[in-house]
Amino acid sequence: MKKSVLTFALMALVMVTIGQTFDLGVKASYNTTKFNLSASAIKSGFTSGAGANFGVFARIGGSKIYLQPELLYSSKTATYILKNDLTGAVISNNDVKFKTIQIPLLLGFKVLDLKIASLRAFTGPAALFVTDGSLKNLANQAKESFTSGKMGWDWQLGAGVDVLMFTLDMRYELGLSELKSVTMNSFKGKTFTVSLGFKFL
């Protein structure tokens, strides 16, 4: 994965080397997440949970192609029911919560560029570092944690609109790395995010 990200970054940098613009901005987002649980003989009924992101972004590029690195603080939640895969019996209802630092590196393309507005598409990897995480059984309130500092990866793709100094993005994040709790429950997330940003430079 690291080699793939490095190759992607080098290709992106080459493509925007001739770029003539630089933007810097802040953004805030709303997200919904579903977590997949990796465990033998267990399946889950998922309910998406709400979360939020906020942070800063830069945009480097030319009239069509740009590179957008970001630094975000992200919270994600979900509720699901664990069921026995053989009998269908409910094992437990659980809440999962994650707080992470995300560092996306997105390569974008301006599909339509007008004087005061533009339409964009983008994709790229994102590194994430877990700052806090927990799994709580809603029946007995038993709680276990996830290791802080754990590094993972996801892949992001989406589309956005710029109007003057404002940006509106919609993106899908596919978890590539499993995040493990202290009892070795492993999770991968799928997240849909809507964000509003403001370019001040």
Q: What is the mean pLDDT of the chain?
A: 82
This prediction's pTM:
0.81
* Token pair for 118: 């533009």
pLDDT digits (tens, 9 = 90+) for 116-140: 999 999 999 999 988 888 878 777 7
Domain count within the chain? 1
The CATH number that applies at residue 100 is 2.40.160.20
Domain interval for residue 38: 2-199
**Residue 41: pLDDT band by 50, 70, 90 thresholds?**
very low
Q: Mean pLDDT throughout 173-190?
A: 75
Q: How far apart are CA 144 and CA 142, in angstroms?
A: 7
pLDDT digits (tens, 9 = 90+) for 49-77: 889 999 999 998 877 889 999 999 999 88
CB count in 10 Å sphere of residue 154:
21
Higher pLDDT, 6 or 139: 139
